Structure formats: C-alpha cells, structure tokens
C-alpha cells in the first residue's frame, strides 16, 4: 500500500489517510500545485495556514526556525498530538504559511505516518480531510457521506483505516515568541513550561527536593507522581535519589531488572511508601498491565 501512496503523492495527488487524531488529507507539501488542489478540495479560506507532517526535529529544522531552548522544550512534547507553530524558513509554498510568516509542524506518535514521511523524504500536509468549517472524520463512511461526488473526484486515493477513536484534532501551540501560547485545545492540554538546567548531581538533587516540597505543601491526599523521561545517563536516577533523600531514604538503587522497588518513608507516621519504577526494559504494553501499579494510584 505504501508504494501506491508514494506514487500518488509523487504525481501531486491527494490521499485521505488515518492519522493519530482524525482522517487527514495528505499531499506533497513541497508541490505548489498539489497544495492548491488540496485547498480547492477543502474550500479553505485564503490566508488560513496548513500544517505539515515531518518525521523528526531534524527534518523540521529544514523548514522552520528552532532555537536551542525551543528544541529542548519540543523534545518534551514530541512526538505527540501537537501542532507546533514556528517562524517559517519559507522553503515551502506560501499557501501553507500564516499571514505572519509562520508554519505549523507535526511529529505524530504514529509509526505509520512517520514511516511514510521517512520513505517519501519530504514533508506532507497535516490537515484534516473534512471541508472547511465542517467536523472532522473518524471513518471513511463519514467522509463519503459529507463530500459530494464531484468534489470527491479531486481525491486520488483513500486509505481506509477503519473507525478511529474520537480524538480531538491536535493541540496547536505557538512557539514563535519563545513563550508558549495555546491557539487550539486538543485532547492533550498544555499549560506552561519551565526550563531548568542542572550542571551537577547536587543541583539535580536540589531541584528534585524543591519540586517534592512544592507538592507536599499542597497537602493533597492524592499520590504524588513524577514521570521522568530521558536517555540513559540523563540523570533520572540522580533525580530519584534526590526525592528519596528529601524523604529520609538513602539506599535507592535503580530497579531496571526488577521494574520497581518499594521504600518505607520513615518521616511520616501514616505508613506511606516511596515507589521507584523503571520501565526502560518494558517493550510490550501487555507487560505493563500485569505489574499491578494501579494499586499505588489510589488516594
């Protein structure tokens, strides 16, 4: 199927395709005629921008301006159901950009789309397959029902991925000024970012202690959860040791091979425990289901 999709895209065709959010309308984002055909199909008002799918931030940097601080922030969000608005480098058709000269990029958490963009070697349009002002489609049946036959003839290929979950379209986040601004809410909410740079293990532990104290001061009965994401050696275990030391626990070790360890918190009188979980070696979602971690999430 991918060969047929690539062939269609290479000749400037439009492809209806299941994405991580809704059914999308793909075309070669570098082909001006294909982009005009897409706009004609969607009956999209002039000046309304169209985002692009890229496979990673390295590809994104070819088309938008990303500074070092912004890149660090984006790596905490992507891949995911977000459209990131950034200053354009104006290497793609102007119809894709906003009147302010910005361009939206998407790096979805969807292997099929990432593989497709990788194979095609160029960005693809990342717009929904519905007509402008109409609701998005979660099935090809819905698409066929909404789109008149004459307009449907503008579409060169339809890929039926079945009924999709009723996710909202992507959350649109504007990073053009350096400060985060949400332009459209999706299923994933984004409020704000705070960037902290640690230059030593001592600083990492101090930061962990500070965050923990802020949560403890809320005096909530809910469990306090810290989710750490990073490569090996990024400092996740050091951060965790900082949390433990703040709770009077000094013997924390990485539970990589046993998944998680429990430690009693002796500073509290109500039998609270500190649970250190390491999911690095889990490759299957089914394994996660049998860990029994949900028991720790009960207030």
Do 229 and 286 have their domain in common?
Answer: yes
Do 60 and 175 have their domain in common?
Answer: yes
Q: Nearest 5°: phi and psi at 53? A: -85, 130
User: What pLDDT, on a 0 to 100 scale, did the predictor assign at position 144?
Assistant: 94
User: What pLDDT, on a 0 to 100 scale, did the predictor assign at position 220?
Assistant: 74
Do 122 and 64 have their domain in common?
Answer: yes
Q: Is residue 287 part of a domain?
A: yes
pLDDT tens column, 20-36: 999 999 999 999 999 99
Q: Is residue 195 part of a domain?
A: no
**Buried (b) or exposed (e) across 181-199, using 16+ Cβ within 10 A?**
eeeeebeeebeebeeeeee
Of the spans 118-132, 195-209, 241-255, which averages the highest pLDDT? 118-132
Return mean pLDDT, the chain.
90
Q: Is residue 190 part of a domain?
A: no
Q: Which residue, of 126, 159, 184, is where some domain finishes?
A: 184
* Site of tokens 């088309």: 63
Please report which residue ranges of 95-176 form alpha helices under DSSP H: 111-120, 140-146, 149-152
User: What pLDDT, on a 0 to 100 scale, did the predictor assign at position 162?
Assistant: 96
Q: Taking residues 265-279, what's their average pLDDT?
A: 84
Do 146 and 223 have their domain in common?
Answer: no
Q: In this structure, what token pair is assigned to residue 205?
A: 């532990």
Q: Is residue 192 part of a domain?
A: no
Q: Is residue 108 part of a domain?
A: yes
User: What pLDDT, on a 0 to 100 scale, did the predictor assign at position 15?
Assistant: 98
Q: Is residue 196 part of a domain?
A: no
User: What pLDDT, on a 0 to 100 scale, did the predictor assign at position 299?
Assistant: 72
Beta bridge partners, 92, equal: none
Q: In this structure, what token pair is assigned to residue 162?
A: 């079945």
Of the spans 48-57, 74-83, 290-299, which averages the highest pLDDT? 48-57
- C-alpha span between 93 and 124 (Å, rounded): 12
Do 103 and 166 have their domain in common?
Answer: yes
The pLDDT confidence band at residue 294, using thresholds 50, 70 and 90, is: confident
CATH of the domain at 9: 3.90.870.10
Do 70 and 145 have their domain in common?
Answer: yes
The pLDDT confidence band at residue 37, using thresholds 50, 70 and 90, is: very high
pLDDT tens column, 150-202: 788 999 999 999 999 998 888 999 999 867 788 887 776 665 556 677 889 99
* 104 contacts 52 by C-beta, under 8 angstroms: yes
When divided into structural domains, the chain yields a total of 2
The pTM for the full model equals 0.68
CATH of the domain at 269: 3.40.50.300
User: What pLDDT, on a 0 to 100 scale, did the predictor assign at position 12?
Assistant: 98
| 272 or 118, higher pLDDT | 118
Q: Which residue, of 151, 184, 217, is where some domain finishes?
A: 184
Do 67 and 122 have their domain in common?
Answer: yes
Do 99 and 240 have their domain in common?
Answer: no
Q: How far apart are the first and last CA of the chain?
A: 48
Residue 8: which domain range?
2-184
* CA distances in angstroms from 297 to 160, 215, 241, 243, 261, listed in the order given: 38, 16, 21, 18, 15
- C-alpha span between 241 and 52 (Å, rounded): 41
Which segment of 41-50, 52-61, 122-131 scores lowest on mean pLDDT?
Answer: 41-50
CA 27 to chain centre: 21
pLDDT tens column, 217-229: 877 778 899 989 8
Q: Which residue, of 154, 184, 214, is where some domain finishes?
A: 184
- C-alpha span between 72 and 67 (Å, rounded): 9
Q: Is residue 172 part of a domain?
A: yes
pLDDT surpasses 80 at 260: yes
Do 149 and 44 have their domain in common?
Answer: yes
User: What pLDDT, on a 0 to 100 scale, did the predictor assign at position 193?
Assistant: 58
């Amino acid at each position: 199927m991918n060969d047929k999709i690539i062939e269609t895209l290479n000749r400037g065709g439009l492809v209806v395709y299941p994405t991580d959010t809704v059914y999308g309308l793909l075309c070669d984002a570098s082909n001006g005629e294909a982009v005009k055909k897409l706009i004609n199909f969607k009956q999209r008002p002039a000046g309304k921008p169209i985002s692009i799918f890229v496979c990673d931030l390295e590809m994104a940097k070819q088309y938008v301006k990303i500074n070092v601080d912004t890149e660090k922030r984006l790596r905490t969000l992507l891949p995911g159901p977000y459209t990131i608005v950034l200053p354009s480098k104006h290497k793609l058709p102007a119809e894709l950009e906003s009147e302010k000269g910005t361009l939206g990029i998407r790096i979805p958490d969807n292997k099929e789309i990432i593989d497709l963009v990788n194979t095609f070697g160029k960005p693809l349009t990342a717009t929904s397959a519905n007509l402008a002002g109409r609701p998005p489609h979660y099935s090809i049946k819905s698409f066929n029902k909404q789109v008149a036959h004459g307009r449907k003839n503008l579409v060169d290929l339809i890929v039926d991925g079945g009924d999709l979950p009723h996710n909202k379209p992507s959350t649109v986040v504007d990073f053009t000024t350096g400060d985060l601004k949400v332009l459209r809410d999706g299923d994933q909410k984004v409020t704000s970012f705070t960037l902290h740079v640690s230059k030593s293990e001592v600083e990492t532990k101090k930061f962990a202690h500070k965050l923990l104290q802020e949560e403890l001061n809320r005096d909530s009965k809910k469990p306090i959860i810290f989710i750490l994401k990073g490569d090996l050696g990024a400092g996740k275990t050091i951060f965790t040791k900082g949390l433990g030391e703040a709770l009077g626990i000094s013997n924390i070790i990485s539970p990589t091979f046993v998944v998680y360890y429990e430690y009693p918190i002796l500073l509290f009188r109500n039998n609270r425990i500190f649970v250190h979980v390491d999911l690095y070696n889990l490759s299957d979602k089914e394994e996660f289901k049998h860990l029994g971690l949900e028991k720790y999430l009960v207030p």
